[in-house]
Amino acid sequence: MLKLLKSGLFTTIQDGGRYGYLNKGVPVAGYMDTFSAKKVNMLLENKEDAAVLEITMTGPTLLFEEETFISLGGAQFSATLNNKPVPYYKVVKIEKGDILSYGKLEKGFRSYLGIKNGFQSPEVLGSRSFFLSITQKNHCKDGDTLAYKPYTSFAPKISELKVDSFLDETVLKVTPGPEYGLLTDKQLESLFVHEFSISNENNRMAYQLEEKILGHEISMLTSATLPGTVQLTPIGKLIILMKDGQTTGGYPRILQLSDKAISILAQKKFGDLISFKLT
């Protein structure tokens, strides 16, 4: 078992996602930054969609009650194991009683802790990902315990990765959404010429952008949405749906983020700048 001595701000179990239930109103959920989560699983030779710990902005303090192997990725914290620095994207041996602590957030927003064979939280609708209306909780609390299978020996084929960091990237590659053709020339210019800053309204459901573009009077039926769908409200507000986002919406769907762009955005916090690039 892994005991959370301190849970951090918003620490959750996430895996590759909960697919096949959008028509029932159930979001995909899963890793916000798929790129980083899959890298830590690859190092540990887990299934690429194995459950990991997703750590947001403020990290936890963790007590390992059994031997295992871990790898850290994503946002960079000053993490220590028994008060010694822990490298990122490297397989690390864990002994019974070891304590992993997350210190200052240095870059990015969401970090990932992978564990050999993945965390063994209960599966609900084919996924271990936390989502409150589906699972018992939507984030970890102080004193919680998380199950994993003990491992005493493991000889990884690759013990360390040099990952090209995208934590400083600000350009989000997008494709046209279903209502893209309804935008005016002035709206298009605003979208692709200017930068936008992340609003304080940002979470696993959606990111709102601070700056507005020209509004609209488009009336449309509620239609299907996906993670990465960019919606335009009547007053010109831009909303980007994320992994826990609603499955339908009544605002024009003007852009769709690429998978990599979703990972880039997931590492942004209040005040960070982004821009769109049409591909």
Domain residue ranges of the chain, discontinuous segments joined by +: 2-146, 171-278
What was the pLDDT predicted at 131? Answer: 93
Report the percent of the chain where pLDDT is more than 90.
90
pTM exceeds 0.85, yes or no = yes
What was the pLDDT predicted at 256? Answer: 98
What was the pLDDT predicted at 27? Answer: 94
Give the closest residue to 62 by CA, choosing from 46, 77, 43, 42: 77
How much is the average pLDDT of 225-251? 96
What was the pLDDT predicted at 150? Answer: 96
Contacts of 198 (CB under 8 A, 6+ apart): 207, 209, 210, 268, 269, 270, 271, 272, 273, 274
CB 4 within 8 A of CB 142: yes
Domain 2-146 has CATH 2.60.120: yes
Q: Please give the Cα distance from 242 to 31 (Å, whole number).
A: 10
* 254 confidence band (pLDDT: 50, 70, 90): very high
Domain 171-278 has CATH 1.20.1440.230: no
CB 76 within 8 A of CB 108: yes
H helix or E strand, kind and range, residue 37: helix 34-43
pLDDT tens figures, 9-32:
999 999 999 999 999 999 999 999
pLDDT at 103 over 90: yes
Q: Please give the Cα distance from 38 to 208 (Å, whole number).
A: 26
Contacts of 78 (CB under 8 A, 6+ apart): 85, 102, 103, 104, 106
CB 46 within 8 A of CB 36: no
Structure tokens at 204: 């696993």
Q: Please give the Cα distance from 272 to 189 (Å, whole number).
A: 21
pLDDT at 220 over 90: no
The radius of gyration computed from the CA coordinates of the chain, to the nearest angstrom, equals 20
What was the pLDDT predicted at 63? Answer: 98
What was the pLDDT predicted at 221? Answer: 85
pLDDT at 184 over 80: yes
Report the percent of the chain where pLDDT is more than 70.
100
Dihedral over alpha carbons 144, 147, 153, 154 (to 10 degrees): -100
What was the pLDDT predicted at 161? Answer: 87
What was the pLDDT predicted at 231? Answer: 97
Contacts of 114 (CB under 8 A, 6+ apart): 37, 40, 41, 43, 44, 46, 50, 52, 70, 71, 72, 73
pLDDT at 164 over 80: no
